[in-house]
Chains A and B, each alone.
Chain A
Amino acid sequence: MLSRPDVDASAALLEQVNHALNSGTPLRIQGGNSKAFLGRKVAGEVLDTRSHRGIVSYDPTELVITARAGTPLSELQTALADAGQMLTCEPPRFAREGSDGATVGGMLAAGLAGPRRPWAGGVRDLVLGTRLITGTGKHLRFGGEVMKNVAGYDLSRLLAGSFGCLGVVTEVSLKVLPVPRQRLSLRLDMDLATALRKLAEWGQQPVPLSAACHDGQALHLRLEGGEGSVAAAQARLGGEPLAEDYWDALNEQQLAFFADPRPLWRLSLPNNTGVLDLPGEQLVDWGGAQRWLKSDADAATIRQAVTAVGGHASCFTAGVCDSPFAPLAEPLLRYHRQLKAQLDPQGIFNPGRLYAEI
């Protein structure tokens, strides 16, 4: 795709929100629309953030980048890579033919993170500040470009994973880090139960792991750190070399596993959960803390098994169940409703995307 010029279109976005507030029109906030499969369907007028784009500031020595919501994530990642830095949480781009894929705003709204998540944190852990168009038609700033900031409530982190239900994010500041000096991936033949036991053991030791995925046959590991620690870990762990692009294919859901026509479920689990017996195929990522399940089993069966071990399940295939995200119990749901009512009193921002009630 040709790169488009940087444009501050926040005034137009604000005008569209104010118009929606005046006319009581719900808005369907959309960036690259790369995660349309995720969440409930929203009936509303499209608010396209892609007109508001560009990197606003980036000083590598400050370890902070600020970009407008409509900036393609790939553009942000290229700018970081050029300076030898990265977003440690590895958000997926989900670029398909003819599209740029995810935007920075969509990355924040969905809060999805890649294989490095257990060791380096998720999107919410990198967010330092946001600008937000609110349900009262104001364009406000929360947080900032500094690493430590405890003034007021942490609204910026609250917005990560909120699926646009609390307002339109127009700008995000993120903490970035240098790319490690050494990176090496390995494939170790072992069954899942052994792999989970080994991962629990390595987790208690300073092994420089940054990704661990088991596909049913073998454990795939990525080591990152200095030359010395990576070499020592390789010598200790053994295994065969693995191509680096494995991790991108996993993160972008392009491994053969994802082509299975059955619905896709994401299971988020405590990191020491053992083998989970469920109908269908599983791909175990995040060292065991995130498992992908291809299954025809009904939502109740899957959720029951996952809740029993302290986790939760979300459906990543559109139209399979009415509540793709794990339902909230009371009083948690009531406080969600109250928060939504306070921040979006007219209920115009992505109503129902996350839950029918909000």
Chain B
Amino acid sequence: MSILYDERVDGVLPTVDKAALLDELRTRLPDLDVLHTQEDLTPYECDGLSAYRTAPMLVVLPERIEQVETLLKICHQRGVPVVARGAGTGLSGGALPLEKGILLVMARFNKILEIDPAGRFARVQPGVRNLAISQAAAPFDLYYAPDPSSQIACSIGGNVAENAGGVHCLKYGLTVHNLLKVEILTACGERMTLGSDALDSPGFDLLALFTGSEGMLGIVTEVTVKLLPKPQVAKVLLASFDSVEKAGRAVGDIIAAGIIPGGLEMMDNLAIRAAEDFIHAGYPVEAEAILLCELDGVEADVADDCERVREVLAKAGATEVRLARDEAERVKFWAGRKNAFPAVGRISPDYYCMDGTIPRRELPGVLKGIAALSEEYGLRVANVFHAGDGNMHPLILFDANQPGELERAEAVGGKILELCVKVGGSITGEHGVGREKINQMCSQFNSDEITLFHAVKAAFDPAGLLNPGKNIPTLHRCAEFGAMHVHHGQLPFPDLERF
């Protein structure tokens, strides 16, 4: 089932008089950059989920908030759908354009407005790149903690919209934990401040509600983030295991020992081999699984924790434990992990990255389930895992030029996510629902829960003009999606044991 917008199940979109809209934009916003020819629109057809493409009706590239405000007022009046886009690095198609809508590109809002070291915050425009905030704070020995792997390119506005994560979430939290205040424009073009410069604000916690709302409730126009002092030192241990189960248990043992690592990552054999071939990080290619455990903080504590973790890992049956000798080796160990996706891209023409989360104790069973699906569909799956917080990134290897392989990859992906839900997890830990997982939302939530999500949307955007078709499926779509499953005549994974 294609994920492109389908008016039959996603709702009929208003029909827009493009010429009249263009006229009004030119009259009321003469200095707004508007793209409308086919060749200009093509680069904006997709975000980081590049398998799916739709050319938007128009692309606008505003440079002043007043332009966005007027634009939203015009769109509200005319009933024009608006899809916001930051850097376009999202992996779930959250910024996938609509044929009948405007793509609002916020990337030109790229100014850092204020760094306040004593107040430990940075106030920035939404198009500022994630890494640029930490770079600007570095002279004060401060940094912005969430570090999604796309951090050199992704924008903070997009991070807010997706509640972006990264490899340090267990200790430092997600985007939602690191925000103080967000300025937004509502669907009808009203300015509103969510959160405050203090640690809380009166009324409902709308800052929490808007974080991760995927551009459905408002457009982010300014972000104030918390800055943290940089940890004095960071050390990395690399542990090898002859079974994935043992590695999984070792993660629980580290936490049971009262230690919260800055980062705790797992890779399986296929991912290890791919990364080693590409980066030569010094990974043990014979290992069934490796754990990378980063400990950061004050030097004396880190040294103690390294010893403790080393003992725990040895007891948990690690075949080898190596402490990165120096900063160069630490960076190398991480380079292998951080380049796992492109590394897998070298061993397969295409790959499809999933983002389910599970309670950690369910890992062995879920990995068995993934292996069974891999065999059933004849597609290899490499597993990369934010082990500390239960966020899995199975990479499904396929060749889009082979007829039917993309469809098979999608089917495996969908089933992996259903498996995550079944063991008490979620279909997305940090990439968002977007368009990609719109059908799987029907597995995670029942129709009453989805109805309540629509009620929340209606409180902020009753006309449904902000990013229609993303994040929350219509009940109609769920009915159709459910029917598809009945058609197969059996529940998913009838032969799997309950873990």
Contacts and interface: CB of A to CB of B under 8 A. Distances in A.
Q: Do A and B actually bind?
A: yes
Interface of A: 59-64, 84, 111, 117-118, 121-122, 124-125, 134, 136, 138, 140-142, 144-155, 157-158, 160-162, 165-166, 177-179, 181, 200-201, 203-206, 208, 225-229, 231-232, 268-272, 286, 289-290, 310-312, 314, 325-328, 331-333, 335-336, 338-339, 341-343, 354-355
Contacts of A148: 165, 169, 174, 357, 386, 389-391, 426, 429-430
A226 B208 contact: no
Nearest to B119: A272
Given A147-B170, A150-B212, A312 B196 contact: yes
Contacts of A342: 455-456, 458-459
B140 interface: yes
Given A160-B208, A229-B298, A271 B459 contact: no
B424 A144 contact: yes
Nearest to B253: A61
21 contacts: A61-B255, A62-B252, A121-B173, A140-B449, A146-B424, A148-B165, A148-B386, A150-B426, A151-B437, A153-B453, A153-B456, A154-B163, A161-B205, A177-B260, A178-B259, A206-B229, A229-B297, A229-B300, A229-B301, A286-B199, A339-B204
B199 A290 contact: yes
Contacts of B448: 134, 136, 138, 140
Given A148-B390, A151-B433, A226-B301, A325 B203 contact: yes
B441 interface: yes
B141 A62 contact: no
Residue among B196, B211, B255, B452 having the largest count of chain A Cβ atoms under 10 Å: B452
Give the top 5 A-B pairs by smallest Cβ distance, nearest first: A228-B300, A226-B301, A148-B429, A157-B208, A229-B298
Contacts of B458: 338, 342
B256 A61 contact: yes
Given A62-B360, A270-B119, A157 B389 contact: no
Residue among B196, B211, B427 having the largest count of chain A Cβ atoms under 10 Å: B196
Nearest to A60: B256
B201 interface: yes
Contacts of B433: 150-152
A204 B117 contact: yes
A342 B457 CA distance: 9
B40 interface: no
**Contact count band on B:** 35 or more
Given A203-B229, A335-B186, 8 more contacts: A62-B360, A118-B199, A125-B176, A153-B456, A157-B176, A178-B255, A310-B197, A326-B202
A154 B449 contact: no
Residue among A162, A231, A268, A335 having the largest count of chain B Cβ atoms under 10 Å: A335
A310 B298 contact: no
B298 A225 contact: yes
B193 to A, nearest CB: 8
Contacts of A152: 433, 441, 444-445, 449-450, 453, 471-472
Given A147-B169, A148-B391, A158-B209, A204 B118 contact: yes
Nearest to A331: B190
A343 B456 CA distance: 7
A232 B426 contact: no
Contact of B459 (A232, A339, A354): A339
A291 B449 CA distance: 39
A124 B436 CA distance: 28
Contacts of B256: 60-61
Given A204-B142, A270-B197, A332-B192, A149 B428 contact: yes
A335 to B, nearest CB: 6
B311 interface: no
A151 B301 contact: no
Given A149-B357, A158-B208, A311 B196 contact: yes
Contacts of B196: 268, 310-312
Contacts of B142: 204
B202 A314 contact: yes
B152 to A, nearest CB: 21
Nearest to B251: A61
Nearest to A355: B203
A146 B304 contact: no
Contacts of B205: 111, 124, 157-158, 160-162
Contact of B456 (A124, A155, A177, A226): A155
Nearest to B177: A125
A270 B198 contact: yes
B331 interface: no
A269 B198 contact: yes
Interface string B165-206: 100011001101100000000100010110011111111111
Contacts of A160: 205, 208
Contacts of B360: 61-62
A146 B425 contact: yes
A161 B200 contact: yes
Contacts of B140: 204
Given A144-B426, A314-B202, A228 B304 contact: yes
Interface in B335-369: 357-361
A153 B213 contact: yes
Interface in B100-139: 116-120
B15 interface: no
B92 to A, nearest CB: 9
Contacts of B455: 342-343
Contacts of B305: 226
B303 interface: yes
Contacts of B457: 153
Contacts of B460: 335, 338-339
B432 interface: yes
A291 B389 CA distance: 35
Nearest to A205: B229
Given A154-B163, A178-B260, A228-B299, A328 B304 contact: no
Contacts of B431: 150
Residue among B140, B199, B446 having the largest count of chain A Cβ atoms under 10 Å: B199
B173 A336 contact: no
B492 interface: no
A136 B212 CA distance: 25
A321 B309 CA distance: 55
